[in-house]
């Protein structure tokens, strides 16, 4: 006889249902109202598909498209649908899901010829046809050995086979299926294609961009926001991956398991150094014009180490930079603005002393002396540093911080004397051909480790702050990246293998009784695709050392 279980639905109430009921059936028997379509759920604070079956009493929170986890599910489901539709339109061509690009996901065909505008339109039409059919998307849990056999039988998914060969044998995998089309995903998917109607597919040679609803307001679906410099930076990163011969987690794991990581790390770091030297050369060419170099980027992008390494390259070019960090201009913790969630908002531009910074910058450019402040993150207070500074002839100011490109912070400086650099960790590596790694997840993992080692925060503290960090990035940082004169990708192709050793124990401290457990599980699963790499070969000047310690720079 089938038993009965109790389900507590947050925002609705308690109900009793037969054991093994799936969430889609439970949702359909309730009258839960949501402004946007419900696409997934948290069961006991773990993100799951609506096809998940409840076998015991549970607490359920249904997730719609406005929730960050709902957006992850929506994006991954659309990528799945795109690869399936492309198989119909281009049966001999595999689609590669590569990376985020402004308000969408950039994809290419795995062939020498670029996608044509007609092919992209045909794929989009096929996606809409499949959406109208409202086809079920089923999920199946399997073991690693079974997964390897399934992907080997396909003949065209060597990337997935390579990935699974290095995964723990005991790990459960989830395969998703539309009709006879199967793929692996560590992010749950929507229960049917009918929920996936909000998107554009835009031809963007040599590939296409899957344009997604706006993150802060999913009711808005805007045209693709093109940004050539950002796209060129991603293209440069792809070239670096080709030089290293590593494109996905499986190929990186192969390098690690061979034990031959020393040269691999050296080449990765040399590519960084070469690009930093190129930027220094660009500044040097216009040294008479440029008085202030502004270096911005989102949280945990490695701006501080980049700035120090750029300063060294400028010295090689016989130029004298003076470094100023915006982190030292934070307001005291008790004066920090309160965010919409009622908590201190450390990531808004208004968490900085804007007036003090502008007065110092103007005084320096006017040839006057200023005493720079120093902020203590553990105490949450700003102190006088005793470091007095006056610009001498030929010296240049370098300003580093997440808001450095925000005009509020350099409103006293004429535009023509500024040189603006945008730094971000634009992930170079994917899990496999269809499972990309979010650039924000790479930065979050960096921040988890750094916050624990150097800022006195637990993993739970960092996870709780992150949604507000992301919201402020969308509001206050990303809108200004297009103003940059140049961009630098701070991601290292091997870094997740090193960060894994630090981050996994921290994430394991997050318990199932808190909502942030869903993020912890997702990040642990992401890191499970990588073999760990000891940090011994990471050089002391590496950007990665900013987060794991052992840097030869002082911060």
Q: Would you give the distance in Å from CA 123 to the centre of its chain? A: 27
Q: The tokens 């296409």 sit on which residue? A: 208
Q: The tokens 């457990």 sit on which residue? A: 517
Residues paired with residue 178 on neighbouring β-strands, in sequence order:
137, 181
Whole-angstrom Cα distance, residue 7 to residue 284? Answer: 65
**Radius of gyration of the chain from Cα atoms?**
25
Angle at the Cα of 374 from the Cα atoms of 370 and 377, rounded to 5 degrees: 160
* pLDDT, position 1: 47
Whole-angstrom Cα distance, residue 459 to residue 454? Answer: 12
Dihedral over Cα of 34, 35, 39, 40: its sign: negative
Pick the CATH number of 4-64 from 3.40.50.1980, 3.30.70.20, 3.40.50.720, 3.10.20.30: 3.10.20.30
Dump pLDDT digits (tens) for 355-391.
999 999 999 999 999 999 999 988 899 998 889 999 9
The b-or-e profile of 235-253 (16+ CB within 10 A means b, else e) is ebbeebbeebebbbbbbbb
* pLDDT, position 468: 85
Whole-angstrom Cα distance, residue 270 to residue 267? Answer: 5
Residue limits of CATH 3.40.50.300 in the chain? 228-548
Backbone phi, psi, residue 4, to 5°? -115, 140
Architecture of domain 228-548: 3-Layer(aba) Sandwich (3.40)
Residue limits of CATH 3.30.980.10 in the chain? 69-211
DSSP assignment, residue 477?
I
Whole-angstrom Cα distance, residue 290 to residue 351? Answer: 28
Q: The tokens 């997730």 sit on which residue? A: 63
pTM score = 0.92
Whole-angstrom Cα distance, residue 483 to residue 499? Answer: 31
Helix axes 517-527, 439-454, angle to 10 degrees: 110
Q: How many residues does the chain have?
A: 555
Fold adopted by 69-211: 3.30.980
DSSP string, 425-446: -----BSSSS----HHHHHHHH
Q: Give me the tens of pLDDT residue by residue for the chain, a chain 555 residues long.
A: 468 999 999 999 999 999 999 999 999 888 888 889 999 999 999 999 999 999 999 999 999 999 999 999 999 999 999 999 999 999 999 999 999 988 899 999 999 999 999 999 999 999 999 999 999 999 999 999 999 999 999 987 999 999 999 998 888 999 999 999 999 999 999 999 999 999 999 999 999 999 999 987 888 888 888 888 888 888 888 888 888 889 999 999 999 999 889 999 999 999 999 999 999 999 999 988 999 999 999 999 999 999 999 999 999 999 999 999 898 999 999 999 998 778 888 878 999 999 999 999 999 999 999 999 999 988 899 998 889 999 988 899 999 998 999 999 999 999 999 999 999 999 779 999 999 999 999 999 999 999 999 988 999 999 999 998 898 888 889 999 999 999 999 999 999 999 999 999 999 999 999 999 999 999 999 999 999 999 999 999 999 999 999 999 988
Contacts 24+ apart (CB under 8 A), 333-338: 333/380, 333/381, 334/380
Residue limits of CATH 3.10.20.30 in the chain? 4-64
Strand order in the sheet with 104-109: 95-101, 104-109, 207-211, 200-204
């Amino acid at each position: 006889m089938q038993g009965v279980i109790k389900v507590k639905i947050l925002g609705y109430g308690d109900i009793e249902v037969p054991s093994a009921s799936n969430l889609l059936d439970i949702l359909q028997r309730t009258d839960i109202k949501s402004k946007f379509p419900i696409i997934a759920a948290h069961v006991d604070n773990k993100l799951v598909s609506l096809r998940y079956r409840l076998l015991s009493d549970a607490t359920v929170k249904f997730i719609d498209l406005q929730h960050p986890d709902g957006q992850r599910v929506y994006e991954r489901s659309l990528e799945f649908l795109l690869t399936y539709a492309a198989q119909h339109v281009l049966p001999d061509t595999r689609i590669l899901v590569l990376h985020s690009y402004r308000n969408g996901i950039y994809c290419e065909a795995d062939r020498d010829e670029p996608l044509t505008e007609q092919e992209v339109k045909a794929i989009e039409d096929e996606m809409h046809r499949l959406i109208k059919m409202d086809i079920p998307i089923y999920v199946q849990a399997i073991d690693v050995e079974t997964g390897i056999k399934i992907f080997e039988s396909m003949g065209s998914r060597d990337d997935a086979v390579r990935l699974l060969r290095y995964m723990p044998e005991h790990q459960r995998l989830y395969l998703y299926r539309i009709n006879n089309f199967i793929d692996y995903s560590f992010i749950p998917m929507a229960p049917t294609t009918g929920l996936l109607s909000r998107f554009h597919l835009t031809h963007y040679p040599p590939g296409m961009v899957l344009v997604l609803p706006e993150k802060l307001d999913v009711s808005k679906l805007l045209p693709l926001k093109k940004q050539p410099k950002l796209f060129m930076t991603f293209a440069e990163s792809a070239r670096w991956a080709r030089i290293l011969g590593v494109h996905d987690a499986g190929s990186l794991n192969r390098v690690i398991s061979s034990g031959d990581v020393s040269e691999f790390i050296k080449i990765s770091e040399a590519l960084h150094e070469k690009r930093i030297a190129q930027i220094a050369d660009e500044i040097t060419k216009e040294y008479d014009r440029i008085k202030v170099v502004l270096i911005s980027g989102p949280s945990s992008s490695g701006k501080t180490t980049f700035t120090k390494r750029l300063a060294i390259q400028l010295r090689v070019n016989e130029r004298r930079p003076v470094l100023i960090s915006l982190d030292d201009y934070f307001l005291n913790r008790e004066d920090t603005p309160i965010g919409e969630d009622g908590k201190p908002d450390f990531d808004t531009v208004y968490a900085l002393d804007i007036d003090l910074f502008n007065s110092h910058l103007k005084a320096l450019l006017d040839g006057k002396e200023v005493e720079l402040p120093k902020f203590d993150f553990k105490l949450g207070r700003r102190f006088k540093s005793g470091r007095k500074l006056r610009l001498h002839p030929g010296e240049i100011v370098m300003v580093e911080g997440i808001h450095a490109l925000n005009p509020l912070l350099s409103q006293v400086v004429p535009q023509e004397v500024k040189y603006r650099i945008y730094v971000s960790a634009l992930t170079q590596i994917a899990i496999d051909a269809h499972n990309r790694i979010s650039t924000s997840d790479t930065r979050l993992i960096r921040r988890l480790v750094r916050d624990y080692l150097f800022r006195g925060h637990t993993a739970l503290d960092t996870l709780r702050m992150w949604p507000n960090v992301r919201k402020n990035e969308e509001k206050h940082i990303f809108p200004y990246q297009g103003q940059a004169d140049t961009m630098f990708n701070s991601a290292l192709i091997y870094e997740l293998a090193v960060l894994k050793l630090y981050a996994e124990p921290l994430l394991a401290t997050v318990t199932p009784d808190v909502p942030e457990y869903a993020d912890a599980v997702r990040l642990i699963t992401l890191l499970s695709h990588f073999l760990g790499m000891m940090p011994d070969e990471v050089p002391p000047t590496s950007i990665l050392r900013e987060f794991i310690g052992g840097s030869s720079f002082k911060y």
